[in-house]
Amino acid sequence: DPEMVVLRSTLLDASFATSADVELPPFVDPEDVAIVLYTSGTSGTPKAALLRHRHLTAYVIGTVEFAGAEPDQAALVTVPPYHIAGLANLLSNMYSGRRIVYLESFDAQVWLDTLRNERITQAMVVPTMLARVVQHLNGSPADAPMLATLSYGGARMPLPVLEQALELFVGTGFVNAYGLTETSSTIALLGPEDHDAAFAGDPVAKVRLGSVGKVLPGIEVEVRDEDGNVLPVGEPGLVFLRGEQVSGEYEGGSVVDAEGWFPTKDRGWIDEDDYLFIEGRADDTIIRGGENIAPAEIEDVLRRHEAVVDAAVVGIPDDEWGQQIAAVVVLAPGKSVGVDELHDYCQQHLRSSKTPYRIEFRDELPHTPTGKLLRREVLADLLG
């Protein structure tokens, strides 16, 4: 059974009534370190990120106001509290007065049952969770009449999974939340209106379904080249962020520059209407013959094949090109496809320079408990 934490106004009233007899907690300096969280370490060694009270306060106040939280709402939390998304979910829901239902482990059927039985109004998942839910529903609409908002984040969402989920969760608003441990969670949102427009067939909105939306009030974003020059609209580069909730500090020092900008090490670009598109981690970029290639673009194409349920793309060393593109594919249950067919499929949807040189099949891909692809393990497997 899910563990429940209930916050009620009656408890608050009772607390205030006896406050004269209660010793107040010590003053907390906003500059004090509130928590140390380790980054996921998907492409390298995890780092200890320091978040101070002022960073978390800025996040909570900003997002609670944006979300319009009400005390009679109920939130389902399935991400562990050692992950920034899980911690941020707990803090913002506690601050707003929402009832919190917490699942210690994820199971698609249990999650769906909890939505219905606990009359959940807000929930948050990572992509692997939503993929399992969609697969479990197998085309049947979800029975979640009270679910007003379903947020997702933590990793790149496969578009085929999202498109199926939009069909199955009728009346639910979808929100893509983008953020990092070092930014105290969410700094950009793609809201329900954008998802609804994409589902209705708006071609511009369908393209923006691949974005993380617009940055929140109080957050600034720049896209720069390798030399630190700010790039124009539409040109991909390195994403930098600045704002009150942005820490950028680790044990041993800060990476924030003198003007307060934090280098996310994500690659992305901004369109003419300020929508932020994230291509992936800069360390994951494949450099083939001098061309920078984002694995996510190729992975999205592979996942659109009817026989493919998941894919991971990495660069493997090559004497002639520097790196060649290798793909590892997981097939959907009961489906089959050959390497040549997948190669031809990629050629139909990608430039020849982005078509995988090597394609292999696996039963599953390595992920962290919070759904991030362990790309370094994929590469190690391919290199033997």
Cβ 142 vs Cβ 116: under 8 Å: no
Fold of 285-383: GMP Synthetase; Chain A, domain 3 (3.30.300)
Q: pLDDT confidence of 227, banded at 50, 70, 90?
A: very high
What average pLDDT does range 330-345 have in this prediction?
95
End-to-end CA distance of the chain: 43
Cβ 206 vs Cβ 198: under 8 Å: yes
> What pLDDT is recorded for position 95?
87
Residues of CATH 3.40.50.12780 domain(s) within the chain?
A: 3-215
For helices 108-117 and 127-137, the axis angle rounded to 10 degrees is: 80
Q: How does pLDDT run across 78-111, given as a tens digit for each residue? A: 988 888 999 999 999 888 888 999 998 899 999 9
Q: pLDDT confidence of 41, banded at 50, 70, 90?
A: low
Look up the pTM and report it: 0.85
Residue predicted with more confidence, 136 or 23: 136
Cα(381)–Cα(285) distance, rounded to whole angstroms? Answer: 18
What average pLDDT does range 205-224 have in this prediction?
95
For residue 23, the tally of other CB atoms under 10 A from its CB is 5
Q: Which two tokens stand for residue 379?
A: 């590469």
> What pLDDT is recorded for position 12?
53
Residue labelled with tokens 């199971």? 107
Residues of CATH 3.30.300.30 domain(s) within the chain?
A: 285-383
Q: How does pLDDT run across 59-70, given as a tens digit for each residue? A: 998 876 555 567
Cα(367)–Cα(371) distance, rounded to whole angstroms? Answer: 5
Q: How does pLDDT run across 306-320, given as a tens digit for each residue? A: 999 999 999 999 999
Q: How does pLDDT run across 237-264, given as a tens digit for each residue? A: 999 999 999 999 999 899 999 999 999 9
* Alpha-carbon distance values, 66 to 112, 175, 189, 204, 223 (Å): 26, 12, 10, 25, 25
**Opening angle at CA 46, ends 40 and 47, nearest 5:** 115
Taking the alpha carbons of 125, 127, 129, 133 in that order, is the dihedral positive or negative? positive
Residue predicted with more confidence, 277 or 160: 277
Task: Decide: residue 118, CB within 10 A, 0-12 exposed, 13-18 middle, 19+ buried.
Answer: middle
The sheet with strand 149-153 has its strands ordered as 3-5, 99-102, 74-77, 122-125, 149-153, 173-180, 185-190, 214-215
Q: What mean pLDDT value characterizes the chain?
A: 90
> How far is C-alpha 5 from the chain's CA centre?
25
> What pLDDT is recorded for position 26?
81
HEC letters along 25-40: CCCCCCCCEEEEEECC
Q: Return the CATH architecture of domain 3-215.
A: 3-Layer(aba) Sandwich (3.40)
